[in-house]
Each structure stands twice: as C-alpha cells, then as structure tokens.
A and B are shown apart, each in its own frame.
Chain A
Amino acid sequence: GNSVTQMEGPVTLSEEAFLTINCTYTATGYPSLFWYVQYPGEGLQLLLKATKADDKGSNKGFEATYRKETTSFHLEKGSVQVSDSAVYFCALRYNTDKLIFGTGTRLQVFP
C-alpha cells in the first residue's frame, strides 16, 4: 500500500544552518506530495506541495522537489531561523484516496 517514511527527529540546528529533512514514499502511480508544518499548540499548515514528477514546491525559503526516480520529496532550507522550530510532516495523496502522513520530524533551532 501507499506509505511515507520520514527521518526521525528531533533535528537540532543552530540558527542560519542548512536544513534537510528526508522523506521517501511508496505509492502506486503518481501521487501528489505535501509538506505540512505544525507549530506548538496549533493545527497543521500546508508548507508546500508538488503534484507531478520534477515539480519543485517552495514557500518561506523551504523547497522540496518531487523525485520520481528516487521516490523522494526531501525538505530543504538554506538558513533556518528560531521561528522555524516546529514539527514537519511529509504526506502523500493518490487519486481521491486519503492523505497519508509520515511520523513527523521535530525541528529545534537554537540561537
């Protein structure tokens, strides 16, 4: 079946460091891929998405490229800020099936 695997956290970084959070997926066909972010005490917010192979989603300095050949959708940011501290969820959706989430990766950024 369809599934998402994320790197385990927490990821601890200093401000202005480079961030990568790995996400790989297993799916039949070509799903749409998403990154959601959950700030402490809040609901999930869409960070970025890509709906077909080689698409790059980007928002607020974050980027992720839909790689069909490696079935990956890694999240990157060139320079993290303390305000980026949150839990990040990779997710996929195939056709009108359910949104499937990874386990989430907690990011902690220190000044």
Chain B
Amino acid sequence: DSGVTQTPKHLITATGQRVTLRCSPRSGDLSVYWYQQSLDQGLQFLIQYYNGEERAKGNILERFSAQQFPDLHSELNLSSLELGDSALYFCASSVVGLAEETQYFGPGTRLLVL
C-alpha cells in the first residue's frame, strides 16, 4: 500500500460525458501528479501540482483539467469524453517534487468510455 488513494476504482461512462477522478496523496506529500496509461500511448505525464499550484504540464488535453485543494487532495476532470480517453489514470505524490524523490503511485482509476 503506497498511501495514495484514488476513487473511484472503475468508471464506465458514455461519449460526451464528464467525469471527476479523485486522489488523496500520502500524508505529508505536497506534490501531486496525474498520469494516463493507455495501450497505444503508454504511460504519459499529464500534470503536476505543488501545494495547490500548478507546477508542470505534460500532454494534457484542453478537455481535461485538474486542481489541488487546500487539504492537498486533487481532482482530475475529464470532459466531452471520447472513446480514446479510455485508459487507466494514475495519481502519484511526492514530498516536494524534486527530481530525485520517489513518486508513490495510487492504484489507479480505470475509465471506460462507451
């Protein structure tokens, strides 16, 4: 158990819909990261937050957005969903976000868009 929790575990929805994925980092970790894992794209970094502020952005679509709240939990919002958004979405956390820090991953949310 990494200490990072993600809900829900599974999500099935239809094209055009909007969903929210939630992540609670390990106790004491200020930095949260979101990743997408799909068969064709592999593991891709989406976005990073540090203590409520966006720190780095990766290959995140404009239809996707995220935020980190004062209690440090984070939410990833996916809107106007397409079939190709079906993937495993991971959240990870680390203490402050330095390069050498270990990122601890949650169990993931499996999203299926029908």
Residue positions of A touching B, CB distance < 8 A? 31-32, 34, 36, 42-46, 49, 51, 89, 93-101, 103-104
Contacts and interface: CB of A to CB of B under 8 A. Distances in A.
Contacts, number: 52
Contacts of A46: 102-104
Interface in B66-108: 90, 92, 97-100, 102-108
A43 B105 contact: yes
A44 B99 contact: no
Q: How many interface residues does chain B have, given as a range?
A: 20 to 34
Contacts of A43: 2, 4, 90, 105-108
Contacts of B114: none
B99 to A, nearest CB: 5
6 contacts: A32-B99, A46-B104, A51-B99, A94-B99, A96-B98, A98-B56
A104 B35 CA distance: 15
B42 A101 contact: yes
Contacts of B55: 96
A93 B105 CA distance: 16
Nearest to A51: B100
Given A42-B107, A43-B2, A46-B103, A96 B42 contact: no
A44 B105 contact: yes
B45 interface: yes
Nearest to B42: A103
Contacts of B58: 98
B105 A32 contact: no
Contacts of B11: none
B67 to A, nearest CB: 18
Given A44-B90, A45-B2, A101-B42, A96 B102 contact: no
A11 B6 CA distance: 31
Contacts of B108: 43
B92 to A, nearest CB: 8
